[in-house]
Chains A and B, each alone.
Chain A
Amino acid sequence: MSTRAPQDPPRPEVAPVPTEEPAAVAEVRVRPAPVPRARPAITGGALPPRAAEGLTLGAAILAVAAIALTDVSPVAIVLCALALALGSVYAWSRIVEGPRRAKDRAVTIAVTSAFLFAVAPLVSVLYTVADRGLARFDGEFFTESARNVVGEGGGAYHAIVGTLVITLCAAIISVPIGILAAIYLQEYGRGPLKRWLTFFVDVMTGIPSIVAGLFAFALFALFLGPGVRLGIMGAVALSVLMIPIVVRSTEEMLKVVPDSLREASYALGVPKWRTILKVVLPTALAGIVTGVMVAIARVMGETAPLIITTGTFSSTNWNPFDGRMENLPVFSFNQYKNPGVLRDAYFDRAWAAALTLIAIVMLLNLAARLLPRRFGTETRR
């Protein structure tokens, strides 16, 4: 693993071989005196096994102790501990193993701690939601609505129904439009129209969700007058957010289908539309399904557009075309924003709703990972 020690002389330059000289001249050339070449050692010093991990763990224990015993800011302590681990490992490794290995060890620690810093908030959120949400994560929560509930009890059945109905409607609207648009862009689109459409799809992925909500609200206000709130309005708002994601992911998946398959199909005398339907789409199906699942999971947690478009409602409503419709994000928001006399009962329901939403999204993501194995195209060994 170790390289040349730092004090070794550099490897001598090899003289270029004269290729254009005649052979006779090359023969009389005096060979340069051999320079003693320092061969890079393939053996060298090494830290004891797990030494770097031990030092880092020691620094972490010191940090925990310091946070528990002193009033110094925990952020400062964690940064100091990190610097301590990095510095000690680097110094020790440089003395024993040389500079290259020392840098390697230091960067390993830096990258690993960056990963931990990135994951920490996620773990913290999951833990907090699970911890507080489990209090009301019970049978009543999944079977009862919040109708006439002013204190304890009640549930989010109506909100779960609403979330599922609204998301399903959004998917029914977005998936065909998204997939067809992607087919146009990838298989048919040419020239400026394709460039403009691609540009607008990119712009649409960046639309703030509240704007999508206002768009749906304004659209329905044109036809049904102001102040109308329907489940389908929420679905339209979510579609605005979902279509660009579906277009983008489907387009990427269609790009991956090799042109040789399209050509093979054309060479059999198959028309283009049938080639797309029977060869290109089935080959890309696994990826398209994954993309759709991710898009659904992404819009399911949207709150702002649904507050505007679906309103809030304490009873179960299965019909997206008739009246207000509660859903999990809005339910959670309202339980927290407008608690009644028994404040804790409202807060518990809010956390349980958040936990339910996370659970549904996680299940969808899990399905998105497992489904391709079912639909999966047999890859070459």
Chain B
Amino acid sequence: MTMHETYTAPATLAAPETGKAVEIIGLNLFYGAFHAVKDVTMRIPANRVTAFIGSSGCGKSTVLRSINRMHELVPGAHVQGEVLVGGEDIYAPDVDPVAVRRQVGMVFQQPNPFPTMSIYDNVVAGVRLNGRRMRREALDEIVERSLRGAHLWDEVKDRLDRPGAGLSGGQQQRLCIARAIAVEPEVLLMDEPASALDPISTLAIEDLVRELRRDYTIVIVTHNMQQASRASDYTAFFNLEATGRPGHLVEFDTTEKIFSNPTKQETEDYVSGRFG
């Protein structure tokens, strides 16, 4: 562990860290023979929003997907190093990836509600698909709580039996967030959740993200600098030396520091728009 440079972001915010932090230690990610990400070590604090920024192909989405073991779904993909969620290594040999994903939820770039299911069924999909039998009232409660949590309740409460795919893009994305928080994960990963949405929906998602950090540890990948500076508490900047070389973590600090006074010239160039 000591051979890697460890980035520990200073605790600046008053709110206590009640949830689970994510520690990444000496993480190397591969797609077959291709070394995608090199030597990432960082501690993502609990109950904060952490943004991953960086140019395309620098491995930020790959790192994100390694936090709930989605990375390995690609044939040939493999991982070296440790990822600790709440102090437990999710890559330990006796860990079931399915169980990890129940703790670490994910929202994707394209809204992907299940097309065969109603709004109601989409929200409880995680609960139902996991085979848990629940009483109708308990399910109703989950649906209302999750949809309220995703700021969607008022818009859809009268048409919960309508198909989820019939909503607008922004509503669909909030439905996906409701679906993700319905299973009550500890950590919520968001892979460019607003990049397919219009500015109004984007703002709605950003507000939601800031609010959700009270209950969840949130990691969000974004290409939008304003979004990172508006919505996140911490920012990690990833970059790659050249095409074909692995991406690496350049700098990880409070969002304020990254955007106003970064330590590295590379970061300064990127956040000020001089390249990338």
Contacts and interface: CB of A to CB of B under 8 A. Distances in A.
Given A264-B176, A378-B163, A269 B183 contact: yes
Contacts of A379: 115, 165
A267 B114 contact: no
A274 B112 contact: no
Given A190-B75, A268-B105, A268-B183, A378 B126 contact: no
B83 to A, nearest CB: 16
Contact of A270 (B75, B130, B165, B166): B130
A191 to B, nearest CB: 10
B114 A283 contact: yes
Count class of interface residues, chain B: 20 to 34
A266 B73 CA distance: 9
A380 interface: yes
B166 A381 contact: yes
B273 to A, nearest CB: 24
Interface residues of A, number: 25
B270 to A, nearest CB: 28
Interface string B94-116: 00001111110110101011111
B70 A268 contact: no
Interface of B: 68, 70, 73, 75, 98-103, 105-106, 108, 110, 112-116, 125-126, 128-131, 163, 165-166, 176, 179-180, 183
Interface in A365-381: 377-381
A267 B105 contact: yes
A186 to B, nearest CB: 14
Interface stretch (A76-84, A159-167, A255-263, A355-363): A255-263
16 contacts: A261-B112, A264-B113, A264-B176, A265-B129, A267-B180, A268-B129, A269-B101, A269-B103, A269-B126, A270-B130, A271-B98, A278-B128, A283-B116, A377-B116, A378-B163, A378-B165
A256 to B, nearest CB: 12
Contacts of B102: 268-269
Contacts of A283: 114-116
A222 B246 CA distance: 62
Contacts of B126: 268-270
Contacts of A258: 112
